């Protein structure tokens, strides 16, 4: 099942069921994605039975599937990215086998074609390609094996970052605020079965193709997560219940052979340049720059649609 949210002048938009080819839609029997997630058992069967999709989707009408969420928890579950960043910045983390995770801004997610306002180019504007999951209500203490059953939808995310602010905020010992503005999401959320065998062990095993100003920047695969989404959920739920509609992110998709296949964020490219050449050679984004992100199945189709956005002065 594929779902999307259309703009209707309200904060949460209007939920629709999307056709298998992603081009058309039908009204959902429940008004919003949040209402669906909170009452999945009541509505999911009726949604799955929708088979006629009379309305063509205007890409400009798409919101993020969940335009605002009770909670956004972002991991950093790709070791190749984390280890490179630790090397570049001289970090010596003591993680004790635990996943990295922070709680970010969740009252707004940009739609897939929204312009992204930023106050200044000097803030180190960067994109970060990720996958994410949306869960139903997760009880406190849920195990990783049980957490798989709470994953209702999978999404594709651009976790915008302001790198000039990230370092100073990290050194305070607390989490990010200024360095992490609102994220963006591709327009279509899918149930795990839509990915077939490319959803394995709590991982989205798809290539994430990223183009910056029309040029291919990277195409790593999401299978390389050191912690699967079920393990990230269990980590988050160790001491608290997660409300229905919580979104969990994978962190920057990265593969160990990033020199060959590229990256999903500029910071990783700059890190490679620092290690190889002694200094970064790639600048961060400028106003007017565009980024496109699209995950693809082996048949070439894009289950989430594409994120395609421009950075503008805010």
Confidence label for 95 from pLDDT (cuts 50, 70 and 90): low
Q: Which helix (H) or strand (E) holds 273?
A: helix 266-277
Instruction: Pick left, alpha or beta for residue 202 (phi over 0 → left; psi -120 to 50 → alpha; otherwise beta).
Output: left
Cα–Cα distance list, 54 to 17, 64, 153 (Å)? 11, 21, 23
Average confidence score pLDDT of the chain: 94
Burial of 56 (0-12, 13-18, 19+ CB in 10 A): exposed
Cα–Cα distance list, 251 to 38, 158, 160 (Å)? 25, 10, 11
pLDDT for res 88: 74
Q: How many CB atoms lie within 10 A of CB 135?
A: 26
Confidence label for 166 from pLDDT (cuts 50, 70 and 90): confident
Q: Is the per-residue pLDDT at 94 higher than 70?
A: no
Largest CA distance in the chain: 58
**CA–CA separation, 19 and 12 (whole Å):** 21
pLDDT tens per residue across span 105-124: 999 999 999 999 999 999 99
All structural domains of the chain, each given as residue ranges with its CATH number in brackets, are: 66-313 (3.90.850.10)
Cβ atoms of 289 and 311 closer than 8 Å: yes
Percent of the chain with pLDDT over 90: 86
Q: What is the DSSP letter of 221?
A: B
pLDDT for res 46: 92
**CA–CA separation, 129 and 217 (whole Å):** 11
pLDDT tens per residue across span 243-260: 999 999 999 999 999 999
Grouping H, G, I as helix, E, B as strand and the rest as coil, residue 101 is strand
Give Cβ neighbours of residue 261 (< 8 Å, ≥ 6 apart).
218, 219, 220, 255
pLDDT tens per residue across span 270-309: 999 999 999 999 999 999 999 999 999 989 999 999 999 9
Claim: this prediction has a pTM higher than 0.75:
yes
Six token digits for residue 296 = 């693809």
**CA–CA separation, 297 and 199 (whole Å):** 10
**CA–CA separation, 27 and 5 (whole Å):** 10
Lowest mean pLDDT among 57-66, 88-97, 172-181, 198-207: 88-97
pLDDT for res 21: 95
- Number of C-alpha atoms within 13 angstroms, CB side, residue 260? 4
Cβ atoms of 195 and 303 closer than 8 Å: yes
């Amino acid at each position: 099942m594929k779902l999307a949210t259309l703009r209707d002048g309200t904060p949460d938009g209007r939920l629709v069921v999307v056709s298998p080819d992603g081009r058309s839609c039908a009204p959902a029997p429940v008004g919003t994605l949040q209402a669906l997630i909170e009452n999945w058992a009541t509505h999911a069967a009726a949604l799955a039975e929708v088979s006629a999709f009379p309305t063509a989707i205007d890409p400009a009408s798409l919101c993020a599937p969940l335009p605002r969420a009770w909670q956004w928890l972002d991991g950093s579950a790709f070791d190749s990215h984390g280890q490179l960043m630790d090397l570049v910045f001289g970090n010596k983390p003591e993680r004790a086998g635990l996943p990295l995770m922070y709680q970010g801004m969740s009252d707004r997610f940009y739609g897939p074609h929204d312009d992204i306002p930023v106050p200044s180019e000097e803030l180190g504007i960067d994109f970060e390609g990720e996958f994410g999951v949306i869960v139903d209500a997760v009880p406190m203490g849920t195990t990783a094996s049980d957490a798989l059953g709470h994953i209702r939808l999978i999404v594709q995310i651009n976790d915008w970052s302001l790198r000039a602010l990230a370092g100073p905020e990290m050194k305070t010992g607390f989490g990010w605020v200024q360095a992490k503005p609102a994220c963006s999401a591709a327009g279509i959320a899918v149930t795990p079965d839509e990915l077939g065998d490319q959803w394995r062990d709590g991982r989205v095993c798809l290539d994430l193709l990223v183009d910056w100003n029309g040029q291919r920047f990277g195409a790593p695969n999401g299978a390389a997560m050191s912690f699967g989404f079920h393990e990230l959920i269990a980590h988050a739920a160790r001491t608290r219940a997660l409300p229905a509609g919580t979104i969990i992110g994978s962190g920057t998709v990265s593969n160990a052979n990033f020199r060959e296949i590229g990256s999903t964020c500029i910071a990783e490219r700059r890190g490679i340049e620092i290690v190889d050449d002694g200094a970064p050679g790639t600048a961060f984004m400028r106003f007017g720059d565009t980024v496109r992100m699209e995950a693809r199945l082996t048949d070439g189709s894009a289950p989430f649609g594409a994120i395609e956005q421009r950075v503008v002065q805010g």
